[in-house]
Amino acid sequence: MIIYPAIDVRGGRVVRLSEGKFDREKSYSGDSLAVAKGFALAGATWLHVVDLDGAKDPARRQTALMESLARESGLKVQTGGGIRDEAQIEALLAAGAQRVIIGSLAAKQPELVRRWLKKFGAERIILSPDVQFDANGTPRVAAAGWQEDTGLALDDFLNGYLAGGLVHVLCTDINRDGKLTGPNTALYTSLVKKFPSLQIQASGGVSSLDDLSALQATGAAGAIVGRALYEKKFTLREALAC
């Protein structure tokens, strides 16, 4: 299982949002490149970066910063945040990103995103369904910064992309994001079992090394770790060793 230390960037600062809410922000550093280089020194190979400014307003996308992180940190970068058109994908890949994360658009415009998968290749695109659970316990995909319920069941969402060659999926349990309450291991165990051809990345709730061990036991291909590192619940070296 690959550990993906996470950097959420707003105005060049490293921050974390609780449940994706911009009014629930905590700032950790003013130098995102220094943070990324620290992750590389600790032994990480990948970096997960969310451009919060770009997510709110495409005109404010921090592409130059993404290029700096991709080319100077020593890490492979997967990045996204409000990707809305093909030109944004091309710009991020040209800037050195290894993968571009597609979120809401994958649920709202699947035909378009399937064309992107074909054009750029399955190794360059990662879909990021963020889910909430309905009254029956069914995970359903949210969109628009988690403010919109698409009504689309997660299983149906993923099945709609399998024939298009989808490989990488980053799934976030919204209710656990940024809360240090532990990951939803049942969700990832189920996804790995139902979709063995997919490389599933788990996101939301990691608070301890035991959480990482539990995620590894689910068969997840990767785990996003953010706030737990910044709050010093454990070190990245410890996480990688675990």
Distance CA 189, CA 214 (A): 10
- Of 8, 51, 173, 211, which one is the catalytic site residue? 8
Question: Which residues pair with residue 132 across a beta bridge?
Answer: 140
Q: What residues have CB less than 8 Å from 147, skipping those under 6 apart? A: none
Amino acid of residue 54: G
Catalytic status, residue 177:
no
Catalytic status, residue 8:
yes
Compute φ and ψ for 4, nearest 5 degrees: -110, 95
- Of 130, 173, 177, 211, which one is the catalytic site residue? 130
Contact predicate 176/182, CB 8 Å: yes
Beta strand 2-10 with 13-18: parallel, antiparallel or unpaired?
Answer: antiparallel
Distance CA 178, CA 187 (A): 17
**Please, what sign has the CA dihedral across residues 192, 109, 125, 149?**
negative
- Report, as residue numbers or ranges, the catalytic residues: 8, 130
